[in-house]
Amino acid sequence: MTVHYENIGRAAVVTISRPERRNAIDAATASELADAWKRFDSDDQAAVGVLTGAGGNFCSGADLRDFDLEDGPGGYLGMSRYHVAKPTIAAVAGFCVAGGLELALWCDLRVAGEDAVFGCFERRFGVPLVDGGTQRLPRLVGLSRAFDMILTGRPVSGAEAHRIGLADRLVPPDEELAAALDLAETIAAHPQPTVLSDRAAVYDGLGVDPRSGLDAERRRGLVALGVAVEGASRFAAGEGRGGAGT
């Protein structure tokens, strides 16, 4: 097995474990990644999924030595076109490049160590971005910055990734997984129906006109209205006054 699945608190940690290849993805690993995220989607113990890599690197993309990947419902890397219903976080150390960057972009949030290196390194080998990078990167960092990364293939440090919005949290080396787990527990502590409905509304609104996005927000919000009523009652009783608990 080159992908490990572990429940830690309210998180499911999915670890790519091919450290001798900087966690490059071959066909078997892609298949295991797809299985891991399907397991997460149906795992009632897990509120948040955390994707990380073993041995000090996140993922260096497709394994160009084996080069045995094939397109499928989940993309070449197994998971990049697969949608999960719960929040996801990438815990990034070391190299997060080529398809590895595309896997990190698939996640909702990214926690990066100061030693992290992001980049579209496939550029130098003529390999196209086919696992979501051309669509997700511009939405995170803007069109110009995305083109700078995609067209040049240059390395982007953890500090720069944080500055441009590619990384949401920047932490000292070797602390990215712990920080991602802390973030997961923060998310998991909130009432989950509204966490899920608000997350879904954000994705519903991407690429549509504002009226359609507002309709999606209203539709998703109505589903969780009962939770809001219960939460309002708790606030009226004194919970959370003055920002307590945030």
pLDDT tens-digit readout, 30-39: 999 999 999 9
**CA–CA dist 210, 206 (Å, integer):** 9
What pLDDT digit, counting tens, does each position of 60-80 carry? 999 999 889 999 999 999 999
54 with 155, same domain? yes
Say if 233 falls within a structural domain. Answer: yes
Name the band, by pLDDT with cuts 50, 70 and 90, for residue 240: low
Q: Is residue 246 part of a domain?
A: no
Q: Quick check: is 123 in a domain?
A: yes
Q: Give the dihedral sign, CA 61/64/66/71.
A: positive
List the domain range (segments joined by +) for residue 211: 192-237
Same domain, 110 and 10: yes
Mean pLDDT of 102-119: 98
Let me know the angle formed at the C-alpha of 26 by 20 and 31, rounded to the nearest 5 degrees.
125
Residue 236 pLDDT exceeds 60: no
Structure tokens at 196: 């899920």
Region of poorest pLDDT, from 9-13, 165-169, 191-195, 218-222: 218-222
Whether 68 and 131 map to the same domain: the answer is: yes
What is the pLDDT at residue 216?
86
Per-residue model confidence (pLDDT) at position 78: 97
Q: Same domain for 204 and 176?
A: no
pLDDT at 225 over 80: no
89 against 216, higher pLDDT:
89
Burial class (CB in 10 A: 0-12, 13-18, 19+), 123: middle
**96 — phi, psi (to 5°)?**
-130, 80
DSSP class of residue 92? E
d(CA 98, CA 119): 6
- pTM for this one? 0.92
The count of structural domains within the chain is: 2
Between 136 and 225, whose confidence is greater?
136
What is the chain's mean pLDDT, rounded?
93
Q: How far is CA 139 from the centre of its chain?
A: 14
> 125 falls in which pLDDT band (50, 70, 90)?
very high
Please check whether residues 156 and 204 belong to one and the same domain: no
- With contact defined as beta carbons under 8 Å apart, do 116 and 94 qualify? yes
Higher-scoring residue by pLDDT: 229, 18: 18
Catalytic residues: 62, 99, 102, 122
